[in-house]
Structure 1
Amino acid sequence: MTGTGRICVGAIAGAFGVRGEVRLKSFCVPPEAIADYGPLWTEDGTRSFAVRLTRPVAGALGARLDGIATREAAEALRGVRLHVDRDALPGLPDDEFYHADLIGLAAHDTGGALLGHVRAVHDHGAGDLLELARPRGPAVLVPFTRAIVPTVDLGAGRLVIDPPEGLFE
């Protein structure tokens, strides 16, 4: 999450066609939900765009952004990450979390000792992994399962990890 209370939901992968359409890479599930959250903001918050999806394209979505009418203007946005106000996102069930809400949480073991802080959340297809930055030593990837991470307390800014033997050695 950015300091402005916004979460990254996509990025512009380049121009598509000659009339200002962009190739939009969505980080939402389903990908088309990116158009449902109202205006999307640039990371620095200086520009916002209303988004209208046009068609699927290879590995992305075709989209029109307000104020972008030429291929050159669309191409100039290549690589721009798009954010949405956190309040625009739907609520989740108790056992699901937005990755942005997990980043920065303190991670403690079941005895209360600090193990580190969540630096990132990775999903390589077999389930989420929490990347923990430790006070000493290299970062550790922790499977984000209920058995290994039995407690997530967003209000307290912490989670509890019951690591399998050898994970932190």
Structure 2
Amino acid sequence: MTEYFELGRILKPQGVKGEVKLDAFTDDLSRFLELGFAYFKDAEYKRVEIESARIDARYAYLKLKGINTRDDAEKLRGVFLYIDRAHAARLPEGSYYIQDLIGCTVKDDMGKTLGLLQDILQNGAADVYVVKLETGTCMFPAVKHVLINRDVESGIITVDAQKLSEVAVYDI
């Protein structure tokens, strides 16, 4: 399982004192108000302290330790911030981090292996799972009547073969 999760991407400097504007990858921006640190990723993950944070309806604005000027902040444009699993937001029962699902083997309830989960699209009423087949891809909505089980520990997602045949779109 993934040990670090993307928190967001730094969009640009905000002001002249080293603050950065973050496109956060979370549903709960208020989380940044309590978060005392994050990580940059280079060859390995490097911890950086968050000196202050503020939010609006869409973005988080962070003042990171050691980033004191607009020029310092400009060097971070496009850089991703991460959080370790131990400090990541707790998910409700039955919810999963996307990064933990990517790469799982997708099988049907008859035991047939379909392929590997390659991507999860989030753009509507339900997530759409994109599965890399032996040749081509398969896409289907991640809804209860299609998904039987998601076992992140074993890396296997099980789907109902009959329901999948009704909703799946194949690109072969």
TM-score category, normalised to shorter length: 0.7 to 0.9
Number of the residue aligned with 1:84: 83
> How far apart, in 2, do the equivalents of 1:35 and 1:98 lie?
21
Unmatched segments (≥5 aa) in structure 2: none
Q: Which runs of 4+ in 1 moved over 4 A?
A: none
Contact 2:39/2:82 (8 A) holds in 1: yes
Structural mapping, 1:145-156, within 5 Å:
145-156=143-154
Number of the residue aligned with 1:114: 113
Number of the residue aligned with 1:48: 47
Contact 2:139/2:169 (8 A) holds in 1: no
Number of the residue aligned with 1:15: 13
> How far apart, in 1, do the equivalents of 2:45 and 2:100 lie?
23
Number of the residue aligned with 1:67: 66
SS at match of 2:56: strand
> How far apart, in 1, do the equivalents of 2:32 and 2:140 lie?
29
- Give the count of matched residue pairs: 165
Cα distance change, pair 15–65 in 1 and its aligned pair in 2 (3 A):
same
In the superposition, the TM-score normalised over structure 2's length comes to: 0.85
Amino acid of the residue matched to residue 17 of structure 1?
G
Unmatched segments (≥5 aa) in structure 1: none
Give the percent of matched residue pairs that are identical in Structure 1 and Structure 2. Answer: 28
Cα distance change, pair 36–99 in 1 and its aligned pair in 2 (3 A):
farther
In the superposition, the TM-score normalised over structure 1's length comes to: 0.87
